Amino acid sequence: MGSPPRRSADLGRGIDRLATGCKRYGPGRLPKAENHAVGAGYAGASAAVCTAIFYAGISTVIGSVGLDAAADFVNIALAALALPLVVPAAFAIGYGGWKIVTPTSPVSGLVCGVLGVFATYGVVLLLFGILVTVPEVLSGASPLRAAVFSWGVIYVAFVEAWWAAVPIGAMSGFVYVAVISPTE
């Protein structure tokens, strides 16, 4: 009977330690992080970076079993090449998402984190699609071909990395709301 309160207290201490760590060493040091919408953007961007690192690491470890070094390089290169689009998109989704739907509990933060992952894929599709389609249009080539290519690239990226992106996005939303809840 005494166990559930201890778990709650342990969770509270863990969240407090995490909040202190974020403020000292992590995104909490970044400009305007005290603004909850900006902090949510930082949480989304941090989740995107963590997802890329986690994806590259795990897929390289799993890929090295029976595959060659070229496959490992491709996994790392894909994760690195995604960062310039994914990190700003995740920040924008975190910031905008906070402005539209302010989570009030860690569980609602978890749900918003998962939804944020899918919204980030959508924004990345739009950004990547523009980057690929505009040169096609300017060169007189078929924009449909570029749009289909863009969709295919993002589809493959989702299929390859959803297993890392969804749990990390969920955890990021949960932790961010849990960390800021005591200050509201």
What is the C-alpha to C-alpha distance for residues 140 and 154, in angstroms, rounded to an integer?
24
Digit-coded pLDDT (tens) for 72-108: 777 788 888 899 999 999 999 999 999 998 888 889 9
Closest CA to 75 of 62, 89, 66, 90: 62
Using the structure block, give the residue that is written with the tokens 């699609």: 129
Whether the full predicted model's pTM is greater than 0.85, yes or no, is no
pLDDT (0 to 100) of residue 94: 94
CB 95 within 8 A of CB 33: no
Using the structure block, give the residue that is written with the tokens 């749990």: 167
pLDDT (0 to 100) of residue 44: 94
pLDDT (0 to 100) of residue 168: 96
Q: Give the distance from CA 78 to its chain's centroid.
A: 15
Q: Is the per-residue pLDDT at 123 higher than 80?
A: yes
CB atoms within 10 A of CB 5: 9
What is the residue extent of each domain of the chain?
32-180
Q: What is the mean pLDDT of residues 125-132?
A: 93
Q: How far is CA 56 from CA 61, 125, 151, in A?
A: 9, 20, 22
CB atoms within 10 A of CB 170: 20
Calculate the CA dihedral of residues 177, 180, 183, 184 and round it to 10 degrees. Answer: -40
Closest CA to 38 of 84, 89, 85, 92: 92
pLDDT (0 to 100) of residue 67: 58
